[in-house]
Amino acid sequence: MAASRRNPGFDARTGDFKLATGAAILLAINIACVNLASNIVFFFKGIHPRTWWERAKDKRATGIYVPVWLLMLVVLVLLLWLRHTHI
């Protein structure tokens, strides 16, 4: 079975923790990318809440979520890079 088709639970059960941590980091990177991409697409497509009070909450939430997802993505990529260079 190819390493890309494995899941972290299987690798952890078999004792291969290097593959398990790599798969878990890759999963977290994918989740961060999907969330960040959805926020960016909604922004550029002009998709906003309908009411003014929801728009105010949306602006505040977007101002928080996008930088948090970007920071998380940078940290995860750095973790993956550090893990790769130290093997």
Q: What's the pLDDT tens digit per position in 21-57?
A: 888 888 888 998 898 898 889 889 988 888 878 888 8
The domain spans of the chain are 8-85
**Distinct helix (H) and strand (E) counts, the chain:** 3, 0
Q: Is the pLDDT of residue 85 over 70?
A: yes
Q: Is the pTM value of this prediction over 0.75? A: no
Mean pLDDT across the chain? 80
Strand (E) or helix (H) holding 76: helix 52-85
